Amino acid sequence: MDDATRIRCEELAKVMKALGHPTRSFLALTLAEGSRCVCELTEMVGADVSTVSKHLSILREAGLVYSEKIGLQVHYHLTSPCVLDFYNCVESVVRQDVAQKASMLETDEQES
């Protein structure tokens, strides 16, 4: 693998890793609906501020969100709404997998 391909794959993996945690997925999906302050996100997630801030930091390092101070509050915004396309693709894979497994179970039951 050449250097350019390796770097490209590393950057792709960094983004996918950032989205690979349920809380970070929730944050990305929530921010796709519009910007939110940390206090709102903390309440929605049901975790303490430091935990939510850590998750947001990982999303920010991956280039998925940015923050903006508005008054005394820090608001987060999704940088790339196309992340929703990625989630739609993943949900399609999950649906196909579930359907395939259900079909195999039906076949197994019919053969029994």
34-47 pLDDT, tens digit each: 999 999 999 999 99
7-39 pLDDT, tens digit each: 999 999 999 999 999 999 999 999 999 999 999
| Alpha carbon distance 81, 28 (integer Å) | 9
DSSP string, 2-54: -HHHHHHHHHHHHHHHHTTSHHHHHHHHHHHT--EEHHHHHHHHTS-HHHHHH
71-103 pLDDT, tens digit each: 999 999 999 889 989 888 989 999 998 888 888
Q: pTM of the predicted model, to two decimals?
A: 0.82
What CATH number does domain 3-79 carry, 1.10.3720.10, 3.40.50.300, 3.20.20.140, 1.10.10.10?
1.10.10.10
Query: What are the boundaries of each domain within the chain?
Result: 3-79, 82-112
